[in-house]
A and B are shown apart, each in its own frame.
Chain A
Amino acid sequence: KQEVTQIPAALSVPEGENLVLNCSFTDSAIYNLQWFRQDPGKGLTSLLLIQSSQREQTSGRLNASLDKSSGRSTLYIAASQPGDSATYLCAVRAGTGNQFYFGTGTSLTVIP
Chain B
Amino acid sequence: EPEVTQTPSHQVTQMGQEVILRCVPISNHLYFYWYRQILGQKVEFLVSFYNNEISEKSEIFDDQFSVERPDGSNFTLKIRSTKLEDSAMYFCASSRGTGSGNTIYFGEGSWLTVV
Asked if A and B bind, the verdict is yes
List CB contacts (< 8 Å) of B30-45 with chain A: 31, 33, 35, 41-45
Residue A81 is within 8 A (CB to CB) of chain B in the complex:
no
Which of the four size classes fits the interface of chain B? 20 to 34
Contacts of B93 in A (CB 8 A): 44
Minimum CB–CB distance for A30 against chain B, Å: 9
* Interface residue total, chain A, C-beta cutoff 8 A: 26
Q: Say whether B109 contacts A42, CB under 8 Å.
A: yes
A34 lies within 8 A of B100 (CB): no
Decide if the interface of chain A is mainly helix, strand, loop or mixed.
strand
A42 closest partner in B (C-beta): B108
Q: Other than A44-B91, A46-B106, give 19 A-B pairs with Cβ distance below 8 A.
A: A4-B42, A32-B101, A42-B109, A43-B4, A43-B91, A44-B43, A44-B93, A46-B103, A49-B103, A52-B100, A53-B100, A93-B100, A98-B33, A98-B55, A99-B33, A99-B56, A100-B43, A100-B104, A101-B45
6 closest A-B pairs (Cβ-Cβ)? A99-B45, A43-B108, A44-B106, A102-B43, A51-B100, A98-B48
- A-side residues, CB < 8 A to B, are 4, 31-32, 34, 36, 41-46, 49, 51-53, 89, 91, 93, 97-104
Which B residues are closer than 8 A to A by beta carbons?
Answer: 4, 6, 31, 33, 35, 41-45, 48, 55-56, 58, 91, 93, 98, 100-109, 111
